[in-house]
Amino acid sequence: MCGVLCDGDETFLGSEVILATGGAGGLFAVTTNPTEAQGQGFAMAARVGALIADPEFVQFHPTAIDIGRDPAPLATEALRGEGAHVVNGKGKSFVADLAPRDVVARAIHLERQAGRGAFLDAREAVGSKFPAHFPTVFAACMSAGLDPRIAPIPIAPAAHYHMGGVATDIWGRSSVDGLWAVGECASTGAHGANRLASNSLLEAVVFAHRIAARLRDDDQQLPLSPEPATAPPTLADGPRAELRRLMEADANVVRDGAGLKRALAHVHALSESHGQANALVASQLILSAALARHESRGAHFRSDYPDVATPQRTFVSGAPDAAAAS
């Protein structure tokens, strides 16, 4: 490692680099993440040859509030814990409210695809208590002219958390000397194929502490590598919006081989036109691994391979079709 090359060709030299860049939800058109979170961390790591683990496992939260905001505000699972019901446009229940996230997300996705819509009805369970008990959800709804005390909340699955990323050991160390990763850009294996709610916060705290302790106590100084010549290109707004639409269409809650191949072809075409931007590298890694996993497991569901089959993790070394490391 040589350090970090930033926009504007500014370089920060260092023999140790810690990636803490967040997730990849911004690659999808509907996400609860900041739209800037486009998998840059694990894409950069792939460029320098780091091992990437489980990039196909993207968790979709089932109940993002569908009011046209980007990122989408979240209708917390605590609402269903209070007794709110997931219903379609006719007010009919179609999934167990407290089923696992992936099950609820797929059911909502399919109900919306069928044209019946999906809503979270908390009128009876919460009603007048909304402003006091769920002020954030209440404010988000009211900002769109929707009063959840008297009307169901329109919902949609949204890219929420990435279980994949830079493969690390229990100290946060990647397969590349001098490169460490922590938080959502890392794949420690702690979350398996379907993260449990809030475990990511604990994971980030524990691994950040471990990395800091390891670097503090390690006297070894790695030699600096030669500086990289150029930074990867930045994806402009137009092609980035196109990328988000195609990932939403073909790498969403329910996937199949034909859609994943179609999306990979589109990403390849974007790369040919706009260069190997980090968002495109991250998308290629997610799509390639999803296409290679011929089973359904946790957050990864293939309609053409609906059964659980192979228990192994997925590892990718290096960026697909990427230029030299930056």
pLDDT tens digits for range 82-134: 999 999 999 999 999 999 999 999 999 999 999 999 999 999 999 999 999 99
Q: Nearest to residue 26, comparing CAs of 186, 185, 142?
A: 185
Which phi and psi (to 5°) does residue 220 adopt?
Answer: -70, 130
- Helix 278-292 with 257-274: angle, nearest 10 deg: 160
DSSP 308: -
Of the candidates 47, 69, 80, 101, the residue annotated as catalytic is 101
Pick the CATH number of 61-157 from 3.90.700.10, 3.40.50.300, 3.30.360.10, 2.60.40.10: 3.90.700.10
pLDDT at 323 over 50: no
Which of 194-198, 215-219, 237-241, 316-320 has the highest mean predicted lDDT (pLDDT)?
A: 237-241
In this structure, what token pair is assigned to residue 19? 């990636």
pLDDT at 192 over 70: yes
Taking only Cα atoms into account, the Rg of the chain, rounded to an integer number of angstroms, comes to 21
pLDDT band at 75 (very low <50, low <70, confident <90, very high): very high
For residue 322, the model assigns a pLDDT of 42
User: Residue 80 is inside which H or E element, if any?
Assistant: helix 78-81
- CATH architecture type of domain 3-57+163-317: Up-down Bundle (1.20)
Asked if residue 71 has a cis previous peptide bond (ω within 30° of 0), the answer is yes
Coil vs helix vs strand at 161:
strand
pLDDT tens digits for range 250-300: 999 999 999 999 999 999 999 999 999 999 999 999 999 999 999 999 999
**8 Å CB contact between 282 and 43:** yes
Q: Nearest to residue 125, comparing CAs of 91, 77, 80?
A: 80
> Taking residues 211-217, what's their average pLDDT?
90
pLDDT band at 321 (very low <50, low <70, confident <90, very high): low
pLDDT tens digits for range 171-191: 999 999 999 999 999 999 999
Question: Is 101 among the catalytic positions?
Answer: yes
For residue 256, the model assigns a pLDDT of 98
pLDDT at 227 over 60: no
| Delimiting residues of CATH 1.20.58.100 domain(s) in the chain | 3-57+163-317
pLDDT band at 228 (very low <50, low <70, confident <90, very high): low
Pairing of strands 179-181, 17-19: parallel
pTM: 0.91
pLDDT tens digits for range 17-40: 999 999 999 999 999 999 999 999
Number of H helices, E strands in the chain: 9, 12
Can you tell me the distance from the alpha carbon of 107 to that of 101, in angstroms, rounded to the nearest whole number?
10
> Taking residues 36-51, what's their average pLDDT?
95
> Taking residues 2-18, what's their average pLDDT?
78
| Delimiting residues of CATH 3.90.700.10 domain(s) in the chain | 61-157
- Percent of the chain clearing pLDDT 90 (strictly above): 80
For residue 196, the model assigns a pLDDT of 86
pLDDT band at 221 (very low <50, low <70, confident <90, very high): low
